[in-house]
Each structure stands twice: as C-alpha cells, then as structure tokens.
Amino acid sequence: MDFIFKIFSVRGIDFYTAHYILLGVFLFVSMYVIRKFCENWHYAIALFSGYYIIISADQIKNHTAFIFLCLAIMCLYKNQRVKATLFILFASLVHYSFVIYLLFVLISPKKSKQVIKICIAISLIYAVIATLRMDTVIVNNLIPAIISVFESKIETFAEMKVQHYFSTRTSWGFLLCVALQLINYGLLKYSRQLMIKRRVTNKIEFIDFVIRLNEIGFMAFPLFVYNMQWYRIIRELLLINYCVYGCTYYYLKKNTRSRLLYLCATLGSVYIWLIGDLCFKTTPELVIIPFFTNNIFL
C-alpha cells in the first residue's frame, strides 16, 4: 500500500486527498460492476449502501485492494484467468489477505463443481478438527515451517500478522461468520430458483458463477475458528451477490407476494450483516457511529 501513497506523494498529493481519490475509484468500480451485471442497479446500490459502504469507508487498504478484486472477478467471468491472477496479485500487494482469492483461479468457478465439493468437505472436516483443538501439529509445526520458507519474501509485520491470526481462537464465535455465509448462499440458491420459475434463462450462467464463488468461500470456514478477521474473505463477495439480488428483484413480477418476500429477505440479510458485524463483532463506537458523526459528506 505504501507504494501507492508514494506515487501520490511524488505528485504532491497529500494523504487525505489521496484517500478521497482512492475512495472515489472504489465507488466508481463498484458502480461499474453493478451496472455491468445487474439490470435493477438502483436496488443493488441500495443494498450496497446499507452495509458494505459503511465498513469500507475508513478501510483504505481494504477498499483499494477490493478495486483489483472486482476487476479479477470480471476477468474470471470471461474465463480470463491470467488477467484475474495478475489483478489478485496486485490486490495482495495492497492487502496481504487478498492472496487467498487465488483459490478462485486455481479452482475455476465456472467448471470444477466436483473439485469444489471435495475442497469444501475437506475444509469442513478441518474446521471441526480445529474447533476440537486437535490441530496442534498444523499450528505448532506446519504453519511456522511455511512462514520460515517465505520469511525472506514477506515483511516482518506480515509475518507477525499471520502468526497472530493462527495463535488465537474464537471459541464458538466463528459460528457468526458461518451463519452470515449460509445466509448469502441460501439467498443465492433461492434467487436461482426464482429465476428458473420465471424462465429467465439468460441470467442463470451468471448466478451459477456467483454461487460457485460463494461455495469456494466455504473453504474459509477453518480460518474463522482461529480469528474472525478472516470473515473478510466472504464479505468481499457481497457486492457481486447484490448484483444477483438486483437481477432477481428486477425480473420478479411487480406487486406480487413473492417480490415482497424477496425484498424483505434481501434487505434483511443486509441488516443482519450490519448488526452482526458492526454491533456484535465490533462495538458501534468504532465504526458505525463515527461513520455518521464524523463524515464530511453527511
């Protein structure tokens, strides 16, 4: 991330102005993704504004890396895996945790359904093992060995962050992250059923693509056991999920019970994320209250 601010510094742009520029690019790319994949982009923007924009407003590294992740996902949808890999590597230069999205390239979300199921099964088994604290060999031996291999390649700060993430436990708190992802996945599958019922076949490929991305996201479950900060892995998929919700809502017949129920379900999921993340996982005084009280745009 420092190299980006050095570029701004050379141009005589101060930190705060650089922050506003990066936030503007983040919003532009987010809107571009919504407009590209979603007919009812107004509804997708409303969902995006209900939670994700709040959590992203003050996280400079995260929303800058997210810009590259969005570009990578668009490339993956076009099956441009080399470009997607480059964008994910750029994202990981900004925020180390984004390197995990290379799984999207290694496990093609458009083809390998069986491979995804096997990987999810292995991840769920390991999550149980980690919950029962039967992972001593991996935590005490394997992870330090992997870190030592890359010790000369990564910064000390990054090394300390990795060690910290795997040296802690969340007790049963990880179930919050699991529940949030299950809500995402359930709504996506429900959206697919509604689109098939409405015979909107031109969007099924895109919905299946997003479902596969979220299935790969299930592989993060073991990480939730160690530290709930890993929930960011599934959080960064929310924008593309909102595109599916916007598409589905657009094609549902107006003034019908099914459309009203879908509206309540999708809006409800946004506020479950908002409350779960910014009220329970994080105290309101840290993020949500400052967003409304210390915001120059409000």
What's the pLDDT tens digit per position in 51-81?
988 888 777 888 889 999 999 999 999 989 9
pTM for the full predicted model = 0.84
The pLDDT value given to residue 124: 72
Rounded Cα–Cα distance for residues 149 and 268 (Å):
45
The pLDDT value given to residue 211: 92
- Structure-block tokens of residue 56: 């992203």
Rounded Cα–Cα distance for residues 214 and 23 (Å):
26
Rounded Cα–Cα distance for residues 247 and 44 (Å):
8
| Residue corresponding to tokens 């390991």 | 126
Q: What angle do CA 101, 217, 61 make, to 5 degrees?
A: 45
The pLDDT value given to residue 272: 92
The pLDDT value given to residue 241: 95
pLDDT 10s digits, 176-190 = 888 888 999 999 999
Q: What is the DSSP string of 32-70?
A: HHHHHH-SSHHHHHHHHHHTHHHHHTT-HHHHHHHHHHH
Rounded Cα–Cα distance for residues 85 and 68 (Å):
10
